[in-house]
Amino acid sequence: MLAGRRAHTVTVLFILTCVLVYVTLLEETPQDTTYNTKRGIVASILVFLCFGVTQAKDGPFTRPHPAYWRFWLCVSVVYELFLIFVLFQTVRDGRQFMKYIDPKLGVALPERDYGGNCLIYDPGNTTDPWHNIWDKMDGFVPAHFLGWYIKTLVIRDWWMCMIISVMFEFLEYSLEHQLPNFSECWWDHWIMDVLVCNGLGIYAGMKTLGWLSMKPYQWQGLWNIPTYKGKIKRMAFQFTPYSWVKFEWKPASNLRRWLAVLGIIFMFLLAELNTFYLKFVLWMPPEHYLVLLRLVFFVNVGGVAMREIYDFMDDPKFYRKLGQQAWLVAAITVTEFLIVVKYDPRTIMLPIPFFVTQCWFLGIVLILSWTLWRFFIR
């Protein structure tokens, strides 16, 4: 096993050296400063990824291959460095910098308002009285379902998923005065989002978790399997977990776990809000590939981070420090929020309606009161 890994590191180093020798001796350097700058930055990132994939410390996941998760760990480092760079720019320079990534960016975009006419059946529209429902059926509907299916696989707890789902709808109600994108009809909030898209995604995720928890994990080498059908099945199972750990969060068991679960819910909600606020302050349309790449990134790093957090909570004597991927995800989420605060403080500081403030104040008081009763008075 060690020899195989050593061979891979030497192979990667050899290929990397050959590429650099080719660029240095055989390729003619273009006389384009902008192109060369972009190519140099991309090459620097690729060299760092090559180093990380072969040399970084392994995380808790080993399937489909440890190098896959090392790759995403290194992508996390690159993304955090990119966010730090954007954070240190002026607002104008930061937005115009996005043009270097895609010339179509750097232009202010109108926000789409999903509110307005909230009649489910509009008799005034004789052509299509159901037009309000069809207008809401955009690409975000399957994205909601798939997103909550994956989040359920990451969190592995029905109650936490439902709490985060409902809480985010309350956040949309609370912040629709800041982002028009949050303004939705009541049935869009609670029927299409919570019950249909999120609810079905959570249900499908819990069914998948049930199958994974009952699946036997007895691995056999591919070449030791006699039948072709068995070999194909073994290759498909390479993309399933090597073993299974059931998450039992038990938030009411002690104060430490209760605060940790509250912190997880808070960071999840903050990361969700960052999705909308980042595209608002950096002028990125919702369908832009950078928005999609960010979601793909969080899909791949979220599971590892959550497993590291659970291990850190469940056995603090063995896991004495927070895992590397969890540390990076927390740093990325906070840095994204700081970019939002710096780039558009006026929107962030718009006064929250008084009745919304009262609701949140009441909720915080109830949580603090229950915490004091459960862990100190009782």
How far apart are the C-alpha atoms of 332 and 290, rounded to whole Å? 16
Task: Please give the structure tokens belonging to residue 329.
Answer: 């995800």
* Alpha-helical runs (H) found in 315-353: 324-343, 345-348
What confidence tens digit (pLDDT) does each residue in 1-13 have? 344 444 478 888 9
Contact 105, 284 (CB under 8 A): yes
Task: Please give the structure tokens belonging to residue 335.
Answer: 């840095």
How far apart are the C-alpha atoms of 109 and 93, rounded to whole Å? 17
How far apart are the C-alpha atoms of 344 and 91, rounded to whole Å? 8
Contact 295, 275 (CB under 8 A): yes
Q: Which of 139-148, 217-226, 256-265, 334-343 has the lowest mean pLDDT?
A: 217-226
What confidence tens digit (pLDDT) does each residue in 107-147 have? 887 766 555 566 565 666 666 655 566 566 656 678 888 98
What confidence tens digit (pLDDT) does each residue in 360-377 have? 999 999 999 999 999 998
Which of helix, strand or coil describes residue 8?
Answer: helix
Strands (E), the chain: none
Contact 242, 217 (CB under 8 A): yes
Confidence of residue 310 (pLDDT cuts 50, 70, 90): very high
What confidence tens digit (pLDDT) does each residue in 233-260 have? 656 666 666 667 889 999 998 999 999 9
Q: State yes or no: pLDDT of 332 exceeds 90.
A: yes
Which residues make beta-bridge pairs with 184? 114
Length of the chain counted residue by residue: 378
Which residues neighbour 218 within 8 Å (Cβ) at sequence distance 6 or greater? none
How far apart are the C-alpha atoms of 348 and 337, rounded to whole Å? 10
Q: Which residue has the tokens 């109830």?
A: 366
Which residues neighbour 372 within 8 Å (Cβ) at sequence distance 6 or greater? none
Which residues neighbour 127 within 8 Å (Cβ) at sequence distance 6 or greater? none
How far apart are the C-alpha atoms of 235 and 240, rounded to whole Å? 10
How far apart are the C-alpha atoms of 160 and 303, rounded to whole Å? 15
Task: Please give the structure tokens belonging to residue 274.
Answer: 């960052």
How far apart are the C-alpha atoms of 273 and 181, rounded to whole Å? 11
How far apart are the C-alpha atoms of 70 and 59, rounded to whole Å? 7
Percent of the chain at pLDDT > 90 equals 49
Q: Smallest Cα–Cα separation from 53: which of 71, 39, 38? A: 71
Cα dihedral: 215, 220, 224, 227 (round 10): 10
Contact 308, 60 (CB under 8 A): yes
Task: Please give the structure tokens belonging to residue 106.
Answer: 């750097």
Task: Please give the structure tokens belonging to residue 182.
Answer: 């949050």
How far apart are the C-alpha atoms of 277 and 271, rounded to whole Å? 10
Q: How crowded is residue 182: how many other Cβ atoms within 10 Å of its Cβ? A: 22
Q: What is the pLDDT of residue 93?
A: 93
185 compared with 78, residue with greater pLDDT:
78
Say what the pTM is: 0.85
